[in-house]
Amino acid sequence: MTLSHPNRLVAPLALAATLALGAAHAFTLEEFTFEDPARTDEFKDLVGELRCLVCQNESLAGSQASVAQDLRKEVYRMMQEGKSRDEVVEFLVARYGDFVLYEPPIKPSTYILWFGPFLFFGLGGFMLLRAIQRKKAEPEQELSQAERERLQQLLAKTDRND
């Protein structure tokens, strides 16, 4: 039994080592540094807001796809050259379309996307208001004499059943 102890230790260590090595091979943002730390932050913000086209639910910052690495390098190169954030975005949109932006620009083809929710919200509110007003306009219905007697009878019956 004592022999198994070293093994128990070795396995997690081996696993940890494998994982660490694996991580070293993965792409990270650490390789992209600027002399001005503000530019580094700007770079990180920017790639976080751009979408990877291969794995569409990932940002350019988080994607492991090789195309994403190429694009990170390109963004880095442009920023090293002193290009502004808008210039980089314009460059990518001209090649890959609005799809690279997580936040699509407001233009006729995206009006329904941007304003649709408000439209539906307004429509719902309007219908709700109308329903409330109609309810208010309706007079309370008085019970007739026959109905009142029947109500009394039913109530009396349930009392007895209890």
Site residues, other proteins (CB under 8 A): 53-54, 56, 66-67, 70-71, 74, 93-99
Least distance from other proteins to the Cβ atom of residue 118, Å: 19
Half-sphere exposure of 130 (CA within 13 A, CB side): 6
Least distance from other proteins to the Cβ atom of residue 65, Å: 9
- For other proteins, the closer CB: 120 or 150: 120
Angle at the Cα of 109 from the Cα atoms of 108 and 112, rounded to 5 degrees:
90
Helix axes 37-49, 85-96, angle to 10 degrees: 30
- For other proteins, the closer CB: 46 or 149: 46
- For other proteins, the closer CB: 66 or 152: 66
- For other proteins, the closer CB: 15 or 105: 105
DSSP line for 50-95: BBPSSSTTSBTTT---HHHHHHHHHHHHHHHTT--HHHHHHHHHHH
Least distance from other proteins to the Cβ atom of residue 53, Å: 4
- What 3-state class would DSSP assign to 50? strand
Least distance from other proteins to the Cβ atom of residue 116, Å: 12
